[in-house]
């Protein structure tokens, strides 16, 4: 049973959304503990009508806890998991640290919920850009098997945390007023600009953010033959990642068939009407949990290609919502 739960990183941007989701979705629990760094320890969080004192992360922070949702940097995740295992708790880890470990399932509940049975005390949630892409890929892959994906991402500044959002706002104000501004979070000014690098160089000129999309997609679908060619770009948008995706399938799908498959898939909302200027956009799809798909069309350059546009809130489905859904899967499996 998972009755006593803890949230690590409870005061951060993603942790705050996790708290909201736990309340909104009536997540079952007997007790709940909010854990953060020494900087936030001792502060008070009001949750479901009760005040809770934030506990400092440390070796004894998980005593009596059954289930942990952790939203932390990689180095913190590496440190906390041994403490959690010592306490007998299962960790849903939102960091990148455990994603490619062979003994850690990488879960998107709409895509591979069955993989949760193979956990060894840790379950990883994928990178935000991977998460929305594989949700959109799932119905097409199930119907016609995807062989190849070409994806370009348009990633919001919220993906770099609160500092990224502040830099967009401050840099934009500076650019409009003609005031000098030195970027700190990004390698170049983000206001009125696009930066075609997210992460460090990793493999053959691809960045770490791009290679995450390759390796994580293959792991989630348990198919290393799926070819993924990604380009990750930071854009001057506050929230919601967008992706231009082209998939090549073994079996031909028409645009109408692809649209029907998208519409039938849990977690996907289709917005697709060019005549009415209707399609997913960050401005209208922020603060939602679904993956939004539009601009669905056949690839005019190859016989078995489907192109589409995909938008998702990277702080919600890309992070907080996916983690809460994984936790819900754990509870359901324990109660089955």
Alpha carbon distance, N-terminus to C-terminus of the chain: 11
DSSP bridge partners of 308? 245
Give the C-alpha distances (Å, rounded to integers) separating 16 from 37, 40, 153, 222, 334: 14, 13, 25, 32, 26
Q: What share of the chain is helix, strand, coil (3-state, %, to 5)?
A: 35, 25, 40
DSSP code of residue 334: H
Virtual CA dihedral for 101, 331, 318, 225, nearest 10 degrees?
A: 40
Among candidate residues 128, 141, 240, 310, the one labeled active-site is: 128
**Structure-block tokens of residue 277:** 């200027």
Catalytic entry in 98, 141, 241, 310? 241
CB 226 within 8 A of CB 148: yes
Instruction: Tell me how crowded residue 169 is: count the other CB atoms within 10 A of its CB.
Output: 13
Closest CA to 61 of 38, 92, 29: 38
Active-site residue, 128 included: yes
d(C-alpha 104, C-alpha 124), whole Å: 7
* Tokens of residue 218, six digits: 């293959």
Cα separations in angstroms, 195 against 133, 154, 184, 277: 21, 10, 14, 27
**Active-site amino acid positions:** 128, 241
């Amino acid at each position: 049973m998972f009755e006593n739960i803890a949230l690590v990183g409870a005061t951060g941007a993603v942790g705050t959304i996790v708290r909201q989701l736990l309340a909104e979705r009536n997540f079952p629990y007997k007790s709940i503990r909010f854990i953060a760094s020494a900087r936030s320890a001792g502060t008070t969080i009001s949750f479901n009508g009760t005040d809770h004192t934030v506990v400092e992360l440390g070796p004894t922070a998980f005593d009596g806890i059954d289930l942990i949702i952790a939203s932390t940097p990689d180095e913190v995740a590496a440190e906390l998991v041994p403490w959690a295992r010592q306490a007998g708790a299962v960790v849903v880890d939102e960091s990148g640290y455990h994603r490619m470990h062979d003994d850690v399932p990488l879960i998107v509940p709409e895509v591979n919920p069955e993989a949760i049975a193979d956990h060894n005390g840790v379950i990883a949630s994928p990178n935000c850009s991977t998460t929305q892409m594989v949700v959109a890929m799932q119905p097409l892959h199930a119907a016609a098997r995807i062989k190849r994906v070409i994806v370009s991402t348009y990633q919001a500044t919220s993906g770099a945390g609160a500092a990224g959002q502040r830099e967009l706002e401050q840099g934009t104000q500076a650019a409009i007023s003609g005031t000098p501004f030195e970027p700190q979070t990004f390698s170049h000014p983000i206001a009125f600009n696009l930066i075609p690098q997210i992460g460090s160089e990793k493999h053959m000129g691809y960045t770490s953010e791009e290679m995450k999309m390759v390796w994580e997609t293959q792991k989630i679908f348990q198919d290393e033959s799926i070819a993924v060619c990604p380009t990750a770009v930071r854009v001057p948008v506050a929230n919601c990642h967008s992706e231009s995706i082209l998939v090549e399938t073994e079996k031909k799908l028409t645009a109408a068939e692809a649209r029907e498959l998208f519409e039938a898939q849990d977690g996907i909302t289709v917005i697709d009407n060019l005549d009415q200027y209707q399609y997913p956009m960050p401005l209208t799809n922020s603060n939602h949990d679904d993956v939004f798909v539009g601009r669905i069309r056949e690839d005019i350059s190859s016989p078995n290609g489907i192109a589409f546009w995909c938008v998702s809130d990277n702080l919600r489905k890309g992070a907080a919502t996916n983690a809460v859904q994984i936790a819900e899967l754990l509870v359901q499996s324990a109660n089955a």
